[in-house]
Structure 1
Amino acid sequence: MGYVPDIEALRLLRAVLESGSISAAARERGVTQQSASARLRAMERALGLELLLRSPHGVTATPAGEVFVAWADDLLHAADRLETGIGQLRGETGRELSVAASQTVASHLLPRWLVTLRSAQVAAGLLPTEVRLLTANSADTCARVRGGEASLGFIESPEALTDLSSRVVARDELVVVVATDHPWVVRDAVPLAEIAATGLVARELGSGTRRSWELVVEERLGHAPAAPAVVLANTAAIRSTVASGLAPAVLSSRVVADDLRLGRLARVPVDTPPITRPITAIWRGAARDLSPVARDLLEAAHVA
């Protein structure tokens, strides 16, 4: 396996290119200029690439360095999301906000929103909000908001809620996925009715993904889909079970993006318009009842 620099080395490189100075980047990262210079040189030697052009007037990226940093940005953003998410799961205190979120939102959307929120607050000179994250399915998220355990919730179910205020903050697409050797893979398109008549690998009752699929079938075909072939508690178990060939599943395109890209699962074309659903923020009371930090997070969800 080739050499991959560690996260701190990549953050140092990014800081150098943002500031145009190794000494300024070293101060930002809390290391000495000598240590920063040595670390950057060691990374270039290990990669076999010259990443930086050093001159008395500052530091700029070489052509190879520009490409390398662009690639590294994806990894750094993922690391930022991971660190932020870990802090929220630990329930660290500060300007506190309790948030309940369904699995898809908690895993694939909320970390990015939290990074956006934190960046905006730091830029404004504000103490960053510390979020206590409660992960649940959509039905349980609603219950936690109703009961006051969470000030704000994010759900995937498209059903209207009459007792809670809500705001759509994103859209999500559901896709049909199968094992790579499934017979549906070689077909140009599979009728929605055939998929609806098939027992799928599904989440438990109360899951936003499961309920969204049920509503689509009811609206477009006029009847409920077949009962699931198996019910599992999380999307990781569903993806593994689908890959084993037991049955297809309907999942968020965000959840299966890596599986499709790496060839672990195959997406099935369906002879129906795209199946989309809203990602909705929910809270008790009216908009004026939202706390300032809850409003900040809603704004971050729209900006991200």
Structure 2
Amino acid sequence: MKLELRHLRIVCAIADTGSITKAAAALGLAQPALAAQLKRIERAIGGQLFERDRHGARPTPLGELMLTRARILLPAIQGLEDEAARLASTAATTMKAYRIGTVNGPILSGLMQRLTSEYPDAVLSTHTSWEASELAEMLATGRLDYALVGACGSSSPPTALGSGAERDLAWHVVAVDAVFILLPEDHPLAGQREVDLSDLADASWVMTPGDGCFRSCFAAACARAGFTARDMYEGDVRTCVELVEAGTAIAPCQSSFRPPPGLVSVPIAGTPLHWRHLLGWHPETPASQHADRIAYYAVEAYQDAVERLPRYAEWLRRQPQFGAQPLAAAKPLSTQ
């Protein structure tokens, strides 16, 4: 892994707050996710950056060196990015260009189809990341116009590191998915209308990476069901599918995920976990002028994805609190 600016900001946040827990709260991340990020940064830099004990986290000599460089680089880079982004955003809007970031979800392809149909001359570019915080940072610095991300349960939307009005983002809830379980068609529970999480206590699990709190929320749901999940593997979508196909593991999945042939997704009794699809933008850029239109297209794209899943569409009729969120009823979310 190569060091990036967001890694320098994480190190500064830990040093400024004196605690990984406090830094995670300030950055809008789960504490385990931030601790894992720090370990990856330390592996990349080649040594320990903080000494941690019951009094908090204190920089090591290597950490002090990194902080000294970071506190010089970050303000300079931030100023350059902000000035360049304002110019680029204005030019992009004039040219009908749309820069869209996304974390794994069902909306992007349908959104792009609608944009290319409505604006045949539009220039579309996309950026994919496993980390919603990275996309939030790109929105704040003007490198993206819109971002499609997910948030577990009722957790806060991702935030851009730093503070100030220029860092505040607007978020709109496009849809709410229940979390289902992805199983092989020949699994003993594959034909059930729904499964109790406790019936899967002996299973091995696989899930995609991310910087949110889903892994912790999933572990908590398992604990409430009376067991601790074992063999928690991690992989991209293809790896997850292949492990489920092979019978090596099963996977939690968004209910709007379309299983490939040979696999099925089954609801969890009591719907203990859910996932919100969010559309984000910066309210002080030209992209904000078109946010309502983009949100409308995003809702339509989600509804199209659901129509391709008869089993999920039927489930939604019994669970009206899930699914696409009407634009008139939904309110933009604040990250602050």
Normalising by the residue count of structure 2, what TM-score does the alignment of the two structures yield? 0.48
1:301 corresponds to 2:298: yes
C-alpha distance in 2, partners of 1:195/1:283? 39
Match of 2:97 in 1: 96
Identity %: 19
Closer, same or farther: CA 244–112 of 1 in aligned 2, 3 Å? same
TM-fit CA distance, 1:296: 3.3
Q: Deviations over 1:86-122 (max 9, x none)?
A: xxxxx9x942121111122xxx322212222343446
Structure number with higher helix proportion: 1
Structure 2: which amino acid aligns with 1:252? Answer: Q
Check whether the contact 1:175–1:253 (CA below 8 A) recurs between aligned residues: yes
With 163-172 and 236-245 compared, the bigger mean Cα shift is at 163-172
CA distance in 1, matches of 2:192, 2:289: 51
Corresponding position of 2:137: 143
Q: Aligned pair 1:110/2:108, yes or no?
A: yes
Give the number of equivalent residue pairs.
196
Q: Which digits, 9 at most, give the CA deviation of each residue in 1:241-282, with x for residues without a partner?
A: 11001011011233333x2xx3x1133453223743221011
Whether the aligned pair in 1 keeps the contact of 2:194 and 2:269 (CA below 8 Å) is yes
Q: Aligned pair 1:130/2:128, yes or no? A: no
Cα shift at 1:201: 0.9
1:219-243 CA-partner distances (Å, limit 9, x unpaired): 68559963653211x2122111110
Q: Give 1:297 shift.
A: 2.0
Pairwise CA distance, 1:204? 1.7
Aligned equivalent of 1:226, options 229, 235, 240:
229
Matched to 1:203, the amino acid is T
What is the SS of the residue equivalent to 2:189?
helix
Aligned equivalents of 2:188, 2:250: Cα separation in 1: 11
Distance 1:217 1:178 in 2: 19
Do the aligned partners of residues 222 and 284 (structure 1) sit closer, same or farther apart at CA in structure 2, a change above 3 Å counting? farther
Distance 1:180 1:118, change over 3 A: closer
Residue 168 (str. 1) matches residue 176 (str. 2): no
Q: Aligned match of 2:253 in 247, 251, 254?
A: 251
Gaps of 5+ in 2: 1-91, 160-167, 302-336
**Please, what TM-score do these two structures have when normalized by structure 1?**
0.53
- Alignment deviations for residues 43-86 of structure 1 (CA, whole Å, 9 cap, x no partner): xxxxxxxxxxxxxxxxxxxxxxxxxxxxxxxxxxxxxxxxxxxx
SS in structure 2 of the partner of residue 184 of structure 1? coil
What amino acid does structure 1 have at the position aligned with 2:298? A
Q: Name the CA distance, whole Å, in 2 between partners of 1:269 and 1:99.
A: 31
